[in-house]
Structure 1
């Protein structure tokens, strides 16, 4: 039995451990943090996650989708809150298509529990990865007492996050490319509690957004009636993390900017200053493998910002794509690792760009009249000609179309819609055969 080591017991590492165990490998998972199953989860840095089609596929492949369904809440669209507290709703897809709110900690716990059901999976916590000898494929771990443990593996999977120790070692190899990009915005989590009877204070089957141009607040529902809310905010400027220095400033800002949220959020200023301000980073690197020995997956190879709700889904898709490739190529590890790296790299780059683009849409355009008209036209074409047009959001969220292909198609659709929206009479004729035929002709011309 071949021995594989997974470095990192987060979401991707835990899921990958299950899929590798199902294929009969001896799997050892090493994690620098304590065992999540034995610690109380605290808020402040989690950002609730949104499971969508790509993530569900991987969970189903691992045989755990039913267990995960129990801890999710469907969200059928965006519930927009304007500056006067007025609400509007934008469905995510057709019929009952939804994305699913889930707590990162609860999901991680559940995956750990499912992984430990396999006799050929072992977990080791409080183990910091100090080094990796690429010649012998031997890892060095250090526990909290300073004890050193060396572990040799046939294959190593680096799933240890955006600041991966495994990737750090690969960065010292020849022709390894790496970049990181921090946004000028960071985020702060706020917990909106449930009503006294345990019910939700807002519509629980929607993702709530307070778009304000240069920043935004979002809220995702939790099972206990609370909401995990996240303020995405500039570090500097007139309205920024650095400008809100006192409780009075925080209270005044939220009362003016997010009035309906302010009215239902107790202890706002205390919560604001108790929780940390965290940065947002994009990681790009290549190749994702070192020979047939080491493979990077998840955030260690493609950390992205959270504005398309695809960070976890992209990582889970890494797991399902790898599993399917293994079934096809078997133990030709050189080809397997190379092919995986070459195929997934363009998809990682594409979803990173899509997430950046979507931030502008979420914080600003979703409240714009012409943007909403544009979406209305796109949805009409999608309903009448689903074989010719699928909105970019649906491609990314409700299909298995490769991210890189979705991005290219989205760019083509954007060019077509930009031209259509430039018509002087678009408000009057948006629902006409003339506009529909113009779009269809442009699609044919674009191939």
Structure 2
């Protein structure tokens, strides 16, 4: 039995705590913010998230799938809104395959409760102020109600430290001081701001709830996900500078004029638009890559601390949850040999994390730009058609990522092969009219 300290009681830290405590380890989960179950965290993070198969696999691993399903809202595809207000529905998969909108707060509370049920000690309002990797000690300091560091400090010396403390991880900062630690962070030129569509006057959804809504506008976009209280959380992904940009939208009139011109169908549904625009934070988006993720058999990074990604494939949470599930499976294989466990864990996850980071950046271009392109939509139809004809040999990339647990790296490689084939198909003269009658079998050399 190990004495394990996990820094960061967000989604990944809370899940990991449960998985380790179920194995009989003594687990302490430390969080600098107050207890989310008493006081909601207002930290500019997304309010709702997309849960796909990798996430559900993790929920099953700790037995909370049914609990989470109660507040999860199925989304069966993308609802595309053009500049004239016309709608086009693009299903995500076949046979009613869907991803789910889940409340970050409710999900985190569920996972915290589950961790506590397994004997995890949760310590809130305590921040890690220093880590000594050699001695495996960490100093934690109590945070006062006004978010300042107090004089109350204590030193812990667990057998094992997990850093699930996010994109700006304190554990990773300590590891960065070691030789041969590689690290990069790359911001994109877009930030994001969350806005709200409230329910209608009679208490109903203002737009279709069982879809992920996208307003693609070339270099930027707005999306909307449903919440259980019949509101929608909208996220504007928008350049920081340039024309148009957050920098340019400084007055009430500028905001209203921009939305009237760009998102005319949604403007009447957002009575608090300008107030929210000024009061809600504008947050940055970045990709973090680093390696190694572990130090001896003593320290490991997991989730965003190891591999923060942009949100455009809806896989940040799902990937972090999969880290935990894979680690749990590796513990089964190697019993208590933590040197081997951590080494196998980082090697097996690094290539997959890099793959989904790349795919998430690619998907931003698809969502903001290509979903409105008729040629791209035809390509998607052919992709789905090939899957119907050859269900075992041809699985679309989106399906592999969202509805299976095929490793991200493998999905990326297969996706590249598919792209090369689809490029050739799209070059066929008159493809628009004959895509349903082509002899794909000979084209693919399928059995």
Give the superposition deviation at 1:218: 0.3
CA-based RMSD: 1.2
Give the superposition deviation at 1:243: 1.0
Aligned to 2:298: 293
Q: Does structure 1 residue 137 correspond to structure 2 residue 144?
A: no
Equivalences for 1:49-68 in 2 at 5 Å?
49-68=49-68
- Distance (whole Å) between structure 2 residues aligned to residue 206 and residue 379 of structure 1: 19
Of 243, 250, 259 in structure 2, the residue corresponding to residue 245 of structure 1 is 250
**Aligned residues of 2:131 and 2:139 also touching (Cα < 8 A):** yes
Give the superposition deviation at 1:43: 8.2
1:71 counterpart SS class:
coil
**Aligned residues of 2:77 and 2:91 also touching (Cα < 8 A):** yes
Give the superposition deviation at 1:159: 0.3
Aligned to 1:83: 83
**Aligned residues of 1:354 and 1:407 also touching (Cα < 8 A):** yes
Aligned to 2:16: 16
Q: Does structure 1 residue 367 correspond to structure 2 residue 372?
A: yes
Equivalences for 1:396-407 in 2 at 5 Å?
396-407=401-412
Of 360, 382, 386 in structure 2, the residue corresponding to residue 381 of structure 1 is 386
Question: How many residues were matched structurally?
Answer: 441
- Distance (whole Å) between structure 2 residues aligned to residue 357 and residue 78 of structure 1: 17
Aligned to 1:99: 99
2:290 counterpart SS class:
strand
Of 224, 234, 242 in structure 2, the residue corresponding to residue 219 of structure 1 is 224
Q: Does structure 1 residue 432 correspond to structure 2 residue 431?
A: no
**Aligned residues of 1:47 and 1:230 also touching (Cα < 8 A):** no
Equivalences for 1:191-202 in 2 at 5 Å?
191-202=196-207
Aligned to 2:147: none
**Aligned residues of 1:45 and 1:189 also touching (Cα < 8 A):** no
Q: Does structure 1 residue 163 correspond to structure 2 residue 168?
A: yes
Query: 1:343–1:305: structure 2 CA closer, same or farther, 3 Å change rule?
Result: same
Query: 1:47–1:415: structure 2 CA closer, same or farther, 3 Å change rule?
Result: farther
Give the superposition deviation at 1:113: 1.5
**Aligned residues of 1:43 and 1:189 also touching (Cα < 8 A):** no
TM-score by length of structure 2 reads 0.97
**Aligned residues of 1:45 and 1:188 also touching (Cα < 8 A):** no
Aligned to 2:267: 262
Give the superposition deviation at 1:198: 2.5
- Distance (whole Å) between structure 1 residues aligned to residue 443 and residue 16 of structure 2: 43
**Aligned residues of 1:365 and 1:371 also touching (Cα < 8 A):** yes
- Distance (whole Å) between structure 2 residues aligned to residue 110 and residue 362 of structure 1: 31
Aligned to 1:354: 359
- Distance (whole Å) between structure 1 residues aligned to residue 2 and residue 293 of structure 2: 21
Give the superposition deviation at 1:246: 0.8
Q: How far does the alpha carbon of each residue in 1:8-38 deviate from its partner, in whole angstroms, 9 at most, with x for none? A: 0000000000101111100000111111111
TM-score by length of structure 1 reads 0.97
**Aligned residues of 1:198 and 1:224 also touching (Cα < 8 A):** no
Give the superposition deviation at 1:45: 3.4
Stretch deviating more after TM superposition (64-73 or 349-358)? 64-73
Give the superposition deviation at 1:196: 2.8
Query: 1:439–1:221: structure 2 CA closer, same or farther, 3 Å change rule?
Result: farther
Q: How far does the alpha carbon of each residue in 1:97-139 deviate from its partner, in whole angstroms, 9 at most, with x for none? A: 11000111121112112211123x1011111111111122111
Query: 1:306–1:47: structure 2 CA closer, same or farther, 3 Å change rule?
Result: farther
- Distance (whole Å) between structure 1 residues aligned to residue 350 and residue 293 of structure 2: 8
